[in-house]
Chains A and B, each alone.
Chain A
Amino acid sequence: MNDAVTNDQAPAPSEKDADKPDAPEPGKGHSVMRQIVAGDVFAGVLAVVLAVLVGSIMVAATDDAVRESAGYLFARPGDFLSAVWDAVWGAYTALFRGAVYNNLVSDFSTQIRPLTETLKFAAPLIVAGLGVGLGFRAGLFNIGGRGQMLLAGGAAGYVGFNFDLPTFIHLPLAILVGMVVGALWAGIAGLLKARTGAHEVIVTIMLNYVAYYLLFYALSKEGLLQAPGSANPKSLPMKESAVLPDILGDRFNLHLGFVLALVAVAYVWWLLNRSALGYRIRAVGENPNAARSAGIDVGRTWVTVMLLAGALVGLAGVNQVLGTVPDGVTLDLDASIGFDAITVALLGRSRPLGILAAGLLFGAFKAGGFSMQAAEGIPVDIVLVVQSLIVLFIAAPPLVRAIFRLPAKEAK
């Protein structure tokens, strides 16, 4: 309604309009530099810089040496500055060493081990991010990643420790069962939205809790998931035949899950850009009314999207249970990936390749965050702060430009 009003008031000149190209031509007179400066990519980089900067301030402000030297700031400002530098530099080099390349060790495979850790952490973030992003493209906000991961992981784990089968059957079966359970769980929200108009945000949040307690119940009942003779809510470890194999040999933890994530990226790219279903998903997401008027069943599309999204998010749960932590299903198997996936999808602008990049970045943060905590004693939560700031700043390029006093982008 508001749109209509605004559009009506914007001038829609008649013949004049016909002569000029409709989208404003990017000014040919502008220099290349200006285009780069005004472009979204540059703003994105600045957003990351800004977020890292804020993170630095937090690290420095809570560092003991910095606070101590701040006490005699005016007497010896040099001490203060070098303390700040030490704290911040120490934090980020530790992060880098934990995430990409460790220069402190001598043999090559240990040096690049952090990179493989990053890829390992990135895999579930990428697939879950794809699931959430797919929902976004259809106009659905899936906050239910956690529940979908928990149940999918639980189901895959049940298959994984309970049966004796050859690997080529066992592993695919466990993966498939997990994905199907994730799909069905998310499908509930899609179905309820299509049938009753129940808002998916509420329903998926509620389903998270329900899933948590369902898994809790299963994990505290022998015969379901609980390991026999145990009092803890934990299952038996996976059978060897159901574990995702390491792809770079025993020395690295990187397992097949990362390959599955790459396959998922390719699939979702094809789905959104080259398939009829993806076309309908985008149409429904952009303008459900027009889609409906053109004969597209909006409700059915919602259900389909939620099923696909649940399968993808479920794959993240499967990845955890059968790959990263194969020693048994636990209640925290989701490792907050379900929520991180939302930020990954937002940062990746719901586009498969963007999500791949965002997932790698966040995977690096995760891998590096742990080593930063170990090496420098900086709580890993700082990573959460930097991540969310990146998403916020990326979503508001004008703010970033204003902070750096850059020229505003040509208005449309």
Chain B
Amino acid sequence: MSTLTDPTSTGASPGPAAPTGEVVTLVSRKTPVVLGVLTVGLALILLFQPESGETTLRLARETDFFQLPDLTLPTMPTAWALTIVCALLTGESVRRYLAKKRTPMWLVAIYAIAWMTGFLVWAAVGETLPVVGLLAGSLALAVPLVFGALGGVLGERAGVVNIAIDGQLLFGAFAAAVVSSMTGSPWPGLLAASIAGALVALILGLFAISYFVDQIIVGVVLNVLVIGITSFLFSQVLAPNAADLNTSARFKVVPIPVLGDIPLIGPILFRQTPVVYVLYIAVAVVTFALYRTRWGLRVRAVGEHPMAADTVGIKVNRTRYRTILIAGAVAGLGGAFYTLVSVPQFNREMTGGAGYIALAAVIFGKWDPIRATLAALLFGFASNLQGVLSVIGSPVPSQFMLMLPYVVTIFAVAGLVGRSRPPAADGVPYRPQ
């Protein structure tokens, strides 16, 4: 059965360095092709659905300390200008391909911003686009995805594929709702979410590590199990006692002094709920721990070559257990977002499969905490975008806007990410003799 490694992805045995010592750059034409397709798509939209008017970009909120003025742009010229930028960047990518050079990441990043801005300017014609609100909202919506992705990265770096992220989020949301309803404070709820996530991870570990059950199977089934349990308890226990058990105390927005007043950045990053600040800490700690500490070195060793780790006296399965428990706890924190930030009660299947999106962010982010975080933010942006556009009204049917993040992911996974290398022992159980 497939794990997240792809055995046939490379042409041959991955052999070490070139015996000849000579290295040539092999470039794939995927990136220029994808960029080209997207550019043509944007141009076609503009060609067949021209809109006349102006688009206003609002760069501050009323409550902000510094008030940046609104930016009003003529819609079509701006959109066309950005399309041309996209076309030029595509051209550069093609040129590099022909010169046998890779398209660098910064080019793709600039392209993405230009394309997105061009599209938004067109879509929000005659309206005001709240840029700050859009980005701040994106960050908020990305919270469970980032926590989930961090949990995924941790698990997979230790060699355990964590498909149960969705279950961890959902169970976290459930526990957070119940505990914060009972205590009347969000903080115990947050703690409970984390413990709930770890609990799901413990079951994952029991089956995947101790009993060598295929990790993808366990993950998928655990997600179903958690849906079943939480939905069952929801209708049996929570719904009849909603006032006592399912009315959670929510986190409020807490602006950080000084930082929160920086124009543009402040309102986006530092006027958020405490969960978001916990998120910042989590990203930093996970990244540091994974790359700079003894613990991280051992986790990565266990995920790459468990036998080698065993021969230097590292207890492979104990390390894996410990790591996925932490991973589950981190993912569980993300679940708290649903019931402690988003809405003040638990509902059945309220994560809506966000755990799978987080999993996509893990792979998209090449098993690196920072990159996975960025990927998760991208998904958050996409989901917030459709909300904003449906409020201001746009010429595109809302279903297509809703579909956008998923289409982008497919393009990205197929075209831009390229062949990524998961930890070598990802998904492979380790049986000590």
A contact set with B: CB distance below 8 Å: 1-2, 5-6, 9, 58, 62, 136, 139-141, 143, 192, 195-203, 205-207, 209-210, 213-214, 216-217, 220-221, 285, 288-289, 292, 298, 339, 342-343, 346, 378-379, 381-385, 387-389, 391-392, 395-396, 398-399
Pairs across A and B, CB under 8 Å, 16 listed: A6-B431, A141-B1, A143-B220, A196-B30, A205-B359, A206-B413, A207-B406, A209-B353, A285-B1, A288-B8, A381-B228, A388-B221, A388-B225, A395-B218, A396-B213, A398-B211
B211 near A399 (CB under 8 angstroms)? yes
Q: What 19 additional pairs, Cβ within 8 angstroms, besides A213-B403, A395-B214?
A: A2-B306, A2-B307, A58-B232, A62-B237, A205-B356, A205-B359, A206-B360, A207-B406, A207-B410, A213-B399, A214-B399, A381-B232, A383-B228, A385-B228, A388-B224, A392-B218, A395-B218, A395-B221, A399-B206
* Cβ of B415 under 8 Å from chain A: yes
CA distance A395 to B217 in the complex (A): 9
B413 near A202 (CB under 8 angstroms)? yes
Closest Cβ of chain B: how far from A102's Cβ, in Å?
A: 25
A217 near B225 (CB under 8 angstroms)? no
CA distance A220 to B397 in the complex (A): 10
* Cβ of B20 under 8 Å from chain A: no
- B residues within 8 A CB of A289? 7-8
Query: Which of B232, B363, B406, B410 contacts A192 (CB under 8 A)?
Result: B410
Report the interface size class on chain B: 35 or more
- Given A2-B306, A209-B403, A342-B220, A199-B228 contact (CB < 8 Å): no
Best-buried of B9, B222, B406 by chain A (most CB within 10 Å):
B406
A136 near B1 (CB under 8 angstroms)? yes
B contact set with A: CB distance below 8 Å: 1-2, 4, 6-9, 30, 206-207, 210-211, 213-214, 216-218, 220-222, 224-225, 227-229, 231-233, 235-237, 305-307, 348, 353, 356-357, 359-360, 363, 397, 399-400, 402-403, 405-407, 409-410, 413-415, 419, 424-425, 428, 430-431, 433
- Given A2-B306, A202-B360, A379-B232 contact (CB < 8 Å): yes
A381 near B2 (CB under 8 angstroms)? no
Query: Which of A5, A62, A214 contacts B236 (CB under 8 A)?
Result: A62
Residue of B nearest to A146 (CB): B353
- A residues within 8 A CB of B430? 2
A198 near B224 (CB under 8 angstroms)? no
B410 near A198 (CB under 8 angstroms)? yes
- A residues within 8 A CB of B217? 346, 391, 395
Closest Cβ of chain A: how far from B14's Cβ, in Å?
A: 9
CA distance A195 to B418 in the complex (A): 11
- B residues within 8 A CB of A216? 399, 402
B399 near A202 (CB under 8 angstroms)? no
A210 near B406 (CB under 8 angstroms)? yes
Query: Which of A2, A206, A213, A214 contacts B428 (CB under 8 A)?
Result: A2
